[in-house]
């Protein structure tokens, strides 16, 4: 049986998510391994062999992935969340889902801890920064979400949940098609009610509509993710894993997987991860894979 060529071995080591360090080390000292590896290196019109800038940038991101998951895992949860919130705010609207994830999936005490850490790290409150930097319709919802300190007991009033399900339905399907995030009742319900109560609202909504809340919010992505994180977190976790483990996954999707695995230990998340075990083994490489699998087995 013929041995694979060095370019084939190199491509194998660098394909997928993460890097197969052991396989890479086996050929790293061979200076001619660049030959035939057109994915990363190419010759210009002067026969000068140079790197493909885009491919090398992607390669650096794969090497960095292991560092990111380790640092996030070792950092104090409050500081970690505070820094993730700050970074998401700086990145802008495309990263506001990170703010939603932290505000909605963390417990009330965990979120309060992140707010305290934000004070210490940045000499400002997260509420202050959100209110001053976000100008769009998302501001009201996001400020209220990070300010929340929800009741976490099991008590749910079914009659109230039914009324609030109707209120959400009216706001989402209003005649003037106004963004539901601008509706005071939507913001009040999603930012003040307990998660058990909101799960009951979610079930009641399905009785009044031919779709779920998230299906009716298909075009309002930030609000949809808010409802998912609060009412059906397993659906949110599934979307993150599925998007990150696709062959054509983008960098944001891969970062979301790292963030989720490093910050979540819920049984719901581990249950979702188990369903993707085969895909993880197929797509993920090297030390990053070892950390990923090890953390999911905790």
Token pair 């700050």 in the structure block, residue: 86
76-149 maps to which CATH number? 1.10.220.10
pLDDT in tens, 169-225: 999 987 566 788 889 999 999 999 999 999 999 999 999 998 999 999 988 899 999
Q: Could you report the per-residue pLDDT of 109-156, keeping only the tens digit for each?
A: 999 999 999 999 999 999 999 999 998 889 999 999 999 999 999 999
- The residues, any chain, with a CB within 8 Å of residue 169's CB and separated by 6 or more, are 205, 208, 209, 216
Q: What is the pLDDT of residues 222-255, one digit of tens each?
A: 999 999 999 999 999 999 999 999 999 999 999 9
Domain at 150-231: CATH architecture: Orthogonal Bundle (1.10)
Domain ranges for the chain: 6-68, 76-149, 150-231, 237-296
pTM of the model: 0.86
């Amino acid at each position: 049986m013929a041995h694979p060529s060095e370019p084939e071995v190199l491509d194998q080591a660098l394909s997928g998510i993460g890097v197969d360090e052991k396989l890479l080390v086996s050929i790293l000292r061979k200076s001619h391994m660049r030959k035939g590896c057109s994915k990363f290196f190419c010759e210009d019109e002067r026969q000068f062999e140079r790197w493909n800038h885009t491919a090398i940038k992607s390669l650096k991101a794969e090497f960095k992935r292991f560092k990111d998951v380790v640092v996030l895992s070792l950092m104090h949860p409050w500081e970690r969340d505070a820094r993730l919130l700050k970074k998401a705010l700086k990145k802008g609207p495309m990263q506001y889902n990170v703010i939603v994830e932290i505000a909605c999936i963390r417990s009330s005490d965990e979120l309060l801890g992140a707010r305290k850490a934000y004070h210490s790290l940045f000499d400002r409150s997260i509420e202050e920064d959100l209110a001053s930097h976000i100008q769009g319709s998302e501001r009201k919802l996001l400020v209220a979400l990070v300010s929340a300190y929800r009741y976490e007991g099991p008590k749910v009033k079914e009659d109230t949940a039914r009324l609030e399900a109707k209120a959400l339905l009216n706001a989402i399907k209003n005649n003037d098609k106004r963004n539901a995030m601008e509706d005071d009742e939507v913001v009040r319900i999603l930012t003040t009610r307990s998660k058990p109560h909101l799960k009951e609202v979610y079930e009641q909504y399905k009785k009044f509509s031919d779709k779920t809340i998230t299906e009716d919010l298909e075009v309002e992505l930030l609000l949809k993710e808010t409802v998912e994180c609060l009412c059906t977190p397993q659906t949110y976790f599934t979307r993150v894993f599925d998007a990150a483990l696709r062959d054509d996954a983008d960098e944001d999707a891969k970062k979301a997987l790292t963030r989720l695995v490093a910050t979540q230990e819920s049984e719901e998340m581990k249950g979702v991860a188990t369903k993707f075990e085969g895909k993880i083994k197929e797509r993920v490489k090297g030390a990053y894979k070892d950390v990923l699998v090890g953390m999911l087995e905790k």
